[in-house]
Amino acid sequence: MPAISSLLTGCAVGCFDADKVDGHTLHVGIGREREPYTGIGRGEINIAGMPIVRDATGGIGTPTSDNERTKLSDNTTHLLVTVHLFDPEIDAENVLAQFTDLFTRYGLASDIRHTLFSLD
């Protein structure tokens, strides 16, 4: 479903097992030189200069690869999704509505909450 959502909107999408995320706050920043990051199925990757979402332990997602530590599994019951809108012309509310519809209709999701923020 995230792949379909990404294709429909043109936005990078991160999907994480929310129960594996450390803490209740995410931070968005830029990857640092030699910052450790293990991409799913990719091993250690260089994230220097890339946008990155971090939890209390470290990086969990970039626009090119989610982290091995917080990846989804067959046991995932709580999903955390990030949608990266790099084009200021994209209507964020419309994208959220599309994602909510897809996850509700095809993923049987419930209790969907969202937060919009921007980096200026």
Segments of the chain with pLDDT less than 50: none
Residue 108's pLDDT is what? Answer: 86
With residue 95 as reference, give the H or E element that holds it.
Answer: helix 92-107
Residue 90's pLDDT is what? Answer: 84
Residue 115's pLDDT is what? Answer: 83
pTM of the model: 0.84
What does the CA dihedral 50, 94, 120, 46 come to, rounded to 10 degrees? Answer: 0
CA 102 to chain CA mean position, Å:
16
Residue 9's pLDDT is what? Answer: 67
